[in-house]
Structure 1
């Protein structure tokens, strides 16, 4: 059964070898992400946002961060040769899996533009599958997605003054496990701000509760918002 869920980002900067010159600046995000993922029981079922979705990845599967500058091999399990075509969220899930020492049953990728109603339906379907299938022991849900990419002059996109209030609201909703608030996020605004994590957060909101928040953190190095939170069923 599902007992806990964690929300984490999936930027390449989580991997120290990829940001040697900025390892210290990115360490708070890395530490918080590993701590949140480490609170999940295994096996994990992960849900992430990527343009290649909808798609499913499951072990045996191996990949590499070579496309992001350094050949750092990672695996969801098994001994297959690294596949250079693995999407970034799957690579980050594999990296977290190796550091947390757990198994991953599968990674589900959803598209960034998935409507809120479809996010809810997918969350409900995911919960039904996990709770009725072979994964009916304690299972942790891992949700990967980033906040706005438009925080200040260092951001990948142009600065947008709406990014601060948007991610501040998301932080509050995640901290309070506010399902209805997450479902009320403006899909159009999230798209304009580059907050692709919106779809993952709304899939989480579709997973039946009740839920309570165990803490949330927010970071914005280099102008991109990263949310970290842990929920549990009381």
Structure 2
């Protein structure tokens, strides 16, 4: 049974070490994400399932403690999914904190690696079980909704952390250049998140989302399936398009 959910974007720039000098530009977004994660924790779920876009090789499922890495962005930073390193040592440091350790064998897709960083920095209790699920971006809406229903059908009180960006076509300098259809698409997503409108999320146009590079479409439709019939209320915490990409942060709770 789904009792709560948080929606957060998954750009690597959310991680300050990756953003480097541009990190302060997303401080407000990081704060909103942390608040959303803490709201989920306050609901006291028996398990958290992290859902995010993934390539075929990284779909998982991924167990708690699965490793992810940002070394491809030039920073010696590894993460684990909701698992504390021993003796308080930061992942990527040796036991004395003197130098980076060898890279971890990474299995998490990038979206779930960002989620792992977020859970750590929001203070997620590793005693609460966490698992990760990568969702292929081309996955049909009907199948996404079925996956969500399967998750909600578990006997446990579950919560979701849904990672995914909006469109990448909001400005001329956006990754997908400017597309006039992007702002209305994102506006509908924002409205649906604020209202906990599962029908609107389920009805998102797959082809249009692909054309607008909206990487969060499939994970959002998993959320739609999992929340069908659940008496949840929505709260939109963040709705901006820095760098021309739509980022949303939302909380759904009873």
1:101 & 1:215 partners in 2: Cα distance?
A: 21
Q: Which residue of 2 aligns with 1:218?
A: 239
Conserved in 1, the CA contact under 8 Å of 2:3 and 2:232?
Answer: no
- Whether 2:138 is the aligned partner of 1:113: answer yes
> Of the candidates 118, 138, 151, which is equivalent to residue 126 of structure 1?
151
Conserved in 1, the CA contact under 8 Å of 2:239 and 2:248?
Answer: yes
RMSD across aligned C-alpha pairs, in angstroms? 1.9
Q: Which residue of 2 aligns with 1:70?
A: 75
Question: Per-residue displacement from partner, 1:60-93 (whole Å, max 9, x unpaired)?
Answer: 3223211122112211227696224532112112
Runs of 4+ in 1 over 6 A off after TM superposition: none
Conserved in 1, the CA contact under 8 Å of 2:53 and 2:111?
Answer: yes
Conserved in 2, the CA contact under 8 Å of 1:44 and 1:102?
Answer: no
Larger radius of gyration: 2
Bigger mean CA offset, 68-77 vs 14-23: 68-77
- 5+ residue gaps, structure 1, are none
- 5+ residue gaps, structure 2, are 86-90, 92-102
Alignment of 1:45-194 (within 5 A): 45-52=49-56, 54-76=59-81, 77=83, 82-99=104-121, 100-103=123-126, 104-129=129-154, 132=155, 136=156, 138-194=157-213
Question: Per-residue displacement from partner, 1:145-173 (whole Å, max 9, x unpaired)?
Answer: 11101110221122111111110111011
Q: Which residue of 2 aligns with 1:44?
A: 48
Number of aligned residues: 227
Q: For residue 86 of structure 1, give the secondary structure of its aligned residue in structure 2.
A: coil
2:110 & 2:61 partners in 1: Cα distance?
A: 13
2:158 & 2:146 partners in 1: Cα distance?
A: 19
Conserved in 2, the CA contact under 8 Å of 1:66 and 1:84?
Answer: no
Conserved in 2, the CA contact under 8 Å of 1:62 and 1:78?
Answer: no
1:127 & 1:226 partners in 2: Cα distance?
A: 25
TM-score (norm 1): 0.90
